[in-house]
Amino acid sequence: MTSTQTIESTSNPKQLVWLITGTSSGIGLSLARAALSRGDKVLATARSKSINAPVMQELKEFGKENVMLLELDVTSGLDVLKEVAKKAVGVWGRVDVVVNNAGYVLSGMLEENSPQETFDQFNTNLFGGINVTRAFLPYMRERKRGTIVWIGSIYGFAPCAYGSAYVGSKWATRGMSLTLNDEISHLGLRSIVIDFGYFRTGVLDPNRRVSTQGRDQSTGIEDYRPIVEKVEALLDGAHGRQPGDPAKGAQAVVDIVRGEGKAAGKPFPREVLLGTDCYQIATDEARKFLEEVEVWKDVSFGTDFAEGDSGIGNDLALAALQRGDKVLATARSKSVNSTAMQKLKEAGKENIAVLELDVTSGLDTLKLVAREAVSVWGRVDVVVNNAGYVLFGVLEENTYAHILLDPSYPILTLSYRRPQETYDQFNTNLFGALNVTRAFLPYMRERKTGTVVWIGSMYGLAPCAYGSAYVGTKWAMRGMSMTLDDEISSLGLRSIVVDFGYFRTAVLNPNRRVTKNQTGIEDYKPIVEKMEGLVNGADGRQPGDPRKGAQAIVDVVRGEGAAAGKPFPRELLLGTDCYQTAKSEAKRHLEEVEAWQSVSCGTDFTEGK
């Protein structure tokens, strides 16, 4: 499907079949009613404890023969969800629209959210939706028709202190939906994320909110209490006064999918914002981003290639050493005695110490490493979350096959079945970095100084077909870094995400790439072959110079060179390609937002409601 096709040309049946997750309350319930009111059929799903709730029975009475109730828990694993999908398709012969709505909000500071709480938030809000999508895509591909709707949030493009895990799950949802759309549009399928502002549902009900300490704020870290109390008061005050009308929001979603009402005749969008508050915050954030990008343009453009070929972490260590700083260089057990690490030790002499650290080893282990690290020179001023890799593969194909990076690669044992490749990507690129940050923050808070640097990617700013899991980790990282900065800046600490374009490291080397290695789905072969060709062609020709990129980071952290005199940024783009891609995506986003303003701002309650 091309971007010029209108909604009618691909979505013109008189009756659609919807499957909606989480229909027992809130937006899901309103959306089921809206679809039924148009004469569509609805497969309304809920977990076992809610499937027989009075509200579900009322929905069944409302929809009569056009509604079917199905038990579905998005966290139950792909194999179970495939059986549900088979049953769902068997009811009316097809499913035209899948709405990934199930989710919840975890309130809590990044440092205080446990690894399990963070995983649970992502498992419901993101991984569950991914698996539901994987379960239904085969049926949609067979018919060359279907729409995946992801229910996003105002906090999928803005930070929110005291909501880091939720923010990360919704930023990732945006990136992965945009990427999925690029992967399936040539098949006649569509993916869209609908970002809701504050709508008057029960999500802010004090008796239903999920918080790290429950409602007992006395058990939290004292340093964070001012923020926790402020946000809790704001949430309590907002409950029952949210400006968004769920019924209007739901009708807008149905209009968009069906190409009716204010959506008639418009190109099908990648993303739509609902709520005047959502529209205002999204446009403000986009313009703020574009302004900061321009302020740091000279740094972004000053990192393109000059002779060199290494990795970002190694070059960053050397760059810090050249300024007379001390470096704790870490690596996994298999690499800690490598030739590269030995050369680094020789270059740093007494200013470098090498420590064994695997970011996936769990928070308790990382706390021990942090204690050891701090004891070497009495402090750690800067933590750089650089460890990571790129998993190549389309969203539908990244499932259970587990690619071992080496025989000693540890996997956290959790009581959930999960899409292993996708989880492994998140475990290294995001969850590991979160735990490293949690391990070092207590020492930084004690000294009231410290900087956390997150190594991001230009694909945390834009979609990338054949890289959905990687995209999701980097989008989530951006949102969580900005949120962390809001949580710790009052303490004298800082957080920054540094987004790299294509830099000449070994990440694209065919012998080192981590790629989905099972027999691929025929429908995706054109994309896979195209992207593999592009990646192979780019290897060794990337424009970015890792050494210049590393020097730029040290400049920004120290406030030297091109960074001297400038306010410390929330985000820094490195590479001309990253600057151009980011600016293009931000402008495209603003253009689409403005094109749908009447829809966005038409879903609030009327005056006095």
Please tell me the predicted confidence (pLDDT) of residue 179: 98
The percent of residues in the chain predicted with pLDDT above 90, rounded, is: 80
- Please give the domain boundaries of the chain with CATH numbers for all domains: 17-286+594-601 (3.40.50.720), 288-583 (3.40.50.720)
> How far apart are the C-alpha atoms of 100 and 95, rounded to whole Å?
13
Please tell me the predicted confidence (pLDDT) of residue 6: 40
Please tell me the predicted confidence (pLDDT) of residue 486: 98
Please tell me the predicted confidence (pLDDT) of residue 212: 74
DSSP letters, 525-561, are HHHHHHHHHHHHHHTT--SB-HHHHHHHHHHHHHT-G
What value does the mean pLDDT take over residues 464-488?
A: 97
pTM: predicted TM-score of the whole model, two decimal places: 0.93
Is 166 annotated as catalytic? yes
> How far apart are the C-alpha atoms of 480 and 458, rounded to whole Å?
16
What value does the mean pLDDT take over residues 533-550?
A: 92
Three-state DSSP at 579 gives helix
**pLDDT tens digits, 336-356:** 777 777 888 888 889 999 999
What value does the mean pLDDT take over residues 399-424?
A: 45
| pLDDT > 50? residue 127 | yes
The band of 52, judged by pLDDT with boundaries at 50, 70 and 90, is: confident
The percent of residues in the chain predicted with pLDDT above 70, rounded, is: 91
The band of 310, judged by pLDDT with boundaries at 50, 70 and 90, is: low
Tell how strand 514-515 and strand 450-457 pair up: unpaired
| pLDDT > 50? residue 10 | no
Please tell me the predicted confidence (pLDDT) of residue 254: 98
The band of 318, judged by pLDDT with boundaries at 50, 70 and 90, is: very high
Please tell me the predicted confidence (pLDDT) of residue 1: 33
Out of 139, 155, 162, 166, which one is annotated catalytic? 166
The band of 546, judged by pLDDT with boundaries at 50, 70 and 90, is: very high
Q: For residue 133, give the nearest of 120, 117, 149, 122 by alpha carbon.
A: 149
Non-local (6+) Cβ contacts of 455 within 8 A are 312, 384, 385, 386, 388, 497, 498, 500
Please tell me the predicted confidence (pLDDT) of residue 501: 95
Please tell me the predicted confidence (pLDDT) of residue 313: 87
Tokens 């009613």 found at:
33
Please tell me the predicted confidence (pLDDT) of residue 209: 85
What value does the mean pLDDT take over residues 151-166?
A: 97
